[in-house]
Structure 1
Amino acid sequence: MIQRILVVLFFMCAIMLANASDYNPVQEEQESHQTLEHDTGDENAHASKKPALWSVIPFVLLLLMIATGPLFYPHFWHKSYPVISIILAFLVCTYYLFYLHNDHSPVHSAAEYIQFIALLAGLFVASGGILINVDKAARPLTNVIILAIGAVIANIIGTTGASMLLIRPFIRLNKNRIKPYHIVFFIFIVSNVGGSLTPIGDPPLFLGFLKGIPFEWTIIHNLVPWAIACVLLLVFFYFFDIRNKTNYALMRGEVEEDVIPTGKISLVGKRNFLWLAVVVGAVFLDPNVFDWVPGIEYMGQKFSYIREIIMLLAAFGSFRFADLQAIQGNEFSFEPIREVAFLFIGIFFTMMPALELVSEFAQSPEGEKLIRPSTLYWGTGILSGFLDNAPTYVNFLTASMASVGADVNKISEVIAFSNNEYADSLLDLMAISLGAVFFGAFTYIGNGPNFMVKSIAEQVGIKMPSFFSYIIKFSIPILLPILIIIWLIFFMGH
């Protein structure tokens, strides 16, 4: 029944795309007027047309399916998500190219998608060839130290890289006392909140970097909120962990561990750290920053390709020359990055109308009234938690910049916005950045690594909470108070 409903919704979307003029007579009149302008030599007339409101349906449909598919119709979703994502992206691109006569937005989205997925792939594959064995006694303080280290390195190799690097050794360390809360706090700290200090840390921040926000901006302005949130989460975790009954039994000697731990930490696949360094170093090869870096020029902007080639070659090399013991020990699979790659094809292209419509609304008197640090923090956060934090970040950044007359697609204006050259733009950007990263932990679907970590935990027999149980038992009572504290300290007065 669900599959039939989804098929009907899909074909309704396709019909609306095929009969666009029937839904928007005003735009049809604009088209005829702009066609006349085109005939007289104005080649940019069509590009000025705005997408219709209904054109966001593919974007909304895709995000709803991402949220509900793995939970309510997993077999159909797992089998069909690549095709669904590509078809929805194709429909929106067709609408832009042949109805709006706008080729700039699809080209721009394609370039950002390639940059985005090259980084994720490089970090994911390179970290998959590193096996960490922590041969220590499972103690609350040891776990706190590992989570704190994860929060730091998430900013160096990304939340995806840090999650894939540490989740298995974290589980193995706690094999005699592992509980679902261990995995949930790992998601909170390592997979999300920890990665808010650099553009490498989390996908939304990397998208901001691609738009023109300086690399050092996040560590300068997000450091204090990051420290407060991480410390509070680690304190919460410590009090959870010391109440672990198995932990008390271990301390009293009532439960004996299989093997007496040596206290050593061993690494297999150390050479892959070099590949990780190559991926991270390549991030800085931006042709818009360094003139000597070649780029593809299009409509006054340079799109990088050397950076992406290096990242993908590093991913290939790190797997080709990886230590087999590390690959097998980590049970490495390409399925997680394959899923991200296909889903984000759909996300990047179907969100084009939403970005333009949000920008247009933000420039209206009604929209300008809503653009405040508090509303940006909670708006970005709530949508990041229940949809996806990367496109949500871009949507709200677009809205905030448009409300002060700035264009998110102009790097010089993005830099000026991040430097607080517009009214309250610094606080606005902080609110958007923290909302996107911190709230990404609120549900399993808020950020890419969340589902990867959940899947790995379930593969080894850990019974993870359901989608709604995760929110009710952990996100609301633990994460939400911390999010409120961050809001009270940094944004409430504005």
Structure 2
Amino acid sequence: MQNIAAISNWFIRITFAATFCILLPEQAFAADLNGSELSILWAFPFAGMLLSIALCPLISHQLWELHMGKIAVFWALLAIVPLAVFFGPGVAWSALVHAALLEYFPFILLLLALFTVSGGIVVHGNLKGTPGLNTAMLAIGTCLASLIGTTGAAMVMIRPLIRANDDRKQNAHVIVFFIFLVANIGGSLSPLGDPPLFLGFLRGVSFFWTTVHLLPETALICAILLILFYLMDRALFKKEGVMPHDSTPERPLRITGGINFILIGVIILTIISGAAVDFGTVTIADNQIDITNLMRDFVLIIVAFISMALTPKEDRETNDFNWGPITEVAKLFAGIFTAIIPVIAILNAGKDGAFAPLVALVSHADGRPNNIAYFWLTGGLSAFLDNAPTYIVFFELAGGNAQTLMTVGAKTLGAISCGAVFMGALTYIGNAPNFMVYAIARRSGIKMPNFFTYMIWSFAILLPVFLLVTLLFFI
């Protein structure tokens, strides 16, 4: 009942926030936020949000745990209040409603549904975190990521992997590679894998285009990382010596929580069908909201309720299931999605915006697309911004015509897609599952690297691999 109450609490909060957005009087909502009128200083709240995530846990972890929500609200207000002062409350409110109803709520509700459903799937048995088993589990999770999404695969696989390595002296590297492969790169082969590819699908990119055109790059990176992980894990495993005796009684390997597999299927079908069905739109604060998307979000909430009601309590307890990780992600990304509003507006302004020097890099002097720049700029921004809107910005800069990009512009679309998906692994905030996996691992007692230390790991391991991909596929 407590778990049902927790979902109900989420539902009440989201319903209240959405109703507040809908019922507030629409005054002077005709004007859009013009990114060409914004200077680079408008990126300060977003930079402050990122630095808070990076530095506050180092300065005072306890203070961060208690007040992260308040800190996120501070940076969000520092972004939205000046917009209201300088451009009018109508423009600020319209931008906030857009970020909330079109981006944040769908984002967090999908995460909530996948987090709840996958938290009811339990892998029982005495798994031993040997190099061979760890590599196999990473490979399985990587394959699942394109089938049930990076969030779904991460939530299904992370807890069994943590339990398998709970007796290892050094186990943080296992989670780091898990973030690389399962939470990011593995999701590159279908629109279900990662939000940027799903947005491309909604804009006309065929469902199997990414499967065909991104397979060579994905296969190469995954093979390199799995081999590298195995060699690293084997060296650390040998250094540790014999693993401590596991006092847990021997149990056969089995999986429970079958109803949640069905519910994952419902989530997938709901997302796919949303692209094929059109029930029209409703205008809220000068934003066109698809009724189909509102229905999709409602279904996701219902799926979460069903999962909590039908999953045995002991399965949740075995998984150490709690609402801490998703609550932490919800608070921080609420701040991120708000503080990012001016940044996205500047990017959308293209050559007329404050980031014009970056935008100019994506084209050669003769007008041909610079695919290397598309790969690295899309990826570099995706590492620190949300990769979904970043993908859309560069998709539009490349022409925005899916039929053209899938044919004569295939290399450009491939560079944008790979950059958005692959380089989300460079930071904890590059893709939604990253921070959730980090939170789950930390709450399980694993000494995870902090924000900057993780970047040292990711840059040292991934950047040489991405350079190889550049040389082989995007020149």
Q: TM tier, shorter chain?
A: 0.7 to 0.9
Counterpart-to-counterpart distance in 1, 2:261 and 2:151: 15
Moved more, 359-368 or 480-489: 359-368
Contact 2:426 2:455 (C-alpha < 8 Å) held by counterparts:
yes
Paired residue secondary structure (1:185): helix
Would you say 1:57 and 2:44 are equivalent positions? yes
| 1:121-178 CA distance string (max 9 Å, x none) | 1111110111112445544333222111100112233323222222221232344446
Moved more, 47-56 or 157-166: 47-56
C-alpha change, 1:228 and 1:455, in structure 2 (3 Å) is same
**Which residue, 428, 436, 439 being the options, matches 2:423?**
439
Counterpart-to-counterpart distance in 2, 1:188 and 1:427: 23
Which residue pairs with 1:270 in the alignment? 258
Counterpart-to-counterpart distance in 1, 2:374 and 2:113: 31
Residue 459 (structure 1) shift = 4.0
The amino acid across from 2:371 in the alignment is P
Which residue pairs with 1:29 in the alignment? none
Counterpart-to-counterpart distance in 1, 2:128 and 2:358: 55
Counterpart-to-counterpart distance in 1, 2:309 and 2:140: 28
| 1:187-230 CA distance string (max 9 Å, x none) | 22112221222333234444555666554443333222111111
Counterpart-to-counterpart distance in 2, 1:48 and 1:171: 45
The amino acid across from 1:359 in the alignment is N
Counterpart-to-counterpart distance in 2, 1:87 and 1:457: 27
Paired residue secondary structure (1:332): coil
Which residue pairs with 1:462 in the alignment? 446
Which residue pairs with 1:237 in the alignment? 229
Which residue pairs with 1:490 in the alignment? 473
**Which residue, 369, 373, 376 being the options, matches 1:375?**
373
Identity %: 35
Counterpart-to-counterpart distance in 2, 1:208 and 1:69: 36
The amino acid across from 1:144 in the alignment is T
Q: How does 1:279-428 map to 2 (within 5 A)?
A: 279-286=267-274, 289-291=276-278, 293=279, 295-296=281-282, 301-303=288-290, 304-362=293-351, 369-371=360-362, 372-385=370-383, 387-388=384-385, 390=386, 392-395=387-390, 397-399=392-394, 401-402=396-397, 406=399, 413=400, 415-416=402-403, 418-420=405-407, 424=409, 426-428=410-412
Which residue pairs with 1:119 in the alignment? 110
The amino acid across from 1:125 in the alignment is T
Which residue pairs with 1:27 in the alignment? none
Counterpart-to-counterpart distance in 1, 2:312 and 2:181: 29
| 1:85-114 CA distance string (max 9 Å, x none) | 345445544555672543654443222222
Which residue pairs with 2:432 in the alignment? 448
Paired residue secondary structure (2:123): strand
Paired residue secondary structure (1:305): helix
Residue 369 (structure 1) shift = 3.4
Paired residue secondary structure (1:199): coil
C-alpha change, 1:218 and 1:115, in structure 2 (3 Å) is farther
Counterpart-to-counterpart distance in 1, 2:97 and 2:451: 36
Counterpart-to-counterpart distance in 2, 1:277 and 1:75: 39
Counterpart-to-counterpart distance in 2, 1:444 and 1:222: 24
C-alpha change, 1:455 and 1:225, in structure 2 (3 Å) is same
| 1:40-71 CA distance string (max 9 Å, x none) | xxx89744754422333322222222232333
C-alpha change, 1:121 and 1:476, in structure 2 (3 Å) is same
C-alpha change, 1:78 and 1:315, in structure 2 (3 Å) is same
Q: Which has the larger radius of gyration?
A: 1
Counterpart-to-counterpart distance in 1, 2:322 and 2:60: 23
**Which residue, 55, 63, 75 being the options, matches 1:76?**
63
Counterpart-to-counterpart distance in 2, 1:305 and 1:270: 28
| 1:264-299 CA distance string (max 9 Å, x none) | 42112221112221112111232x6423x4543567
Structure 1 portions without partners, runs of 5+: 1-42, 407-412
Paired residue secondary structure (2:52): helix
C-alpha change, 1:90 and 1:207, in structure 2 (3 Å) is farther
Which residue pairs with 1:141 in the alignment? 132
Which residue pairs with 2:121 in the alignment? 130
TM-score, structure 1 normalization:
0.75
TM-score, structure 2 normalization:
0.78
**Which residue, 187, 190, 194 being the options, matches 2:186?**
194
The amino acid across from 1:442 in the alignment is L
Residue 310 (structure 1) shift = 0.2
C-alpha change, 1:49 and 1:374, in structure 2 (3 Å) is closer
Residue 400 (structure 1) shift = 5.4
**Which residue, 146, 157, 167 being the options, matches 2:148?**
157
| 1:383-417 CA distance string (max 9 Å, x none) | 433x24x2x55236415524x5x5xxxxxx45356
The amino acid across from 1:439 in the alignment is M
Which residue pairs with 2:219 in the alignment? 227
The amino acid across from 2:259 in the alignment is R
C-alpha change, 1:215 and 1:95, in structure 2 (3 Å) is farther
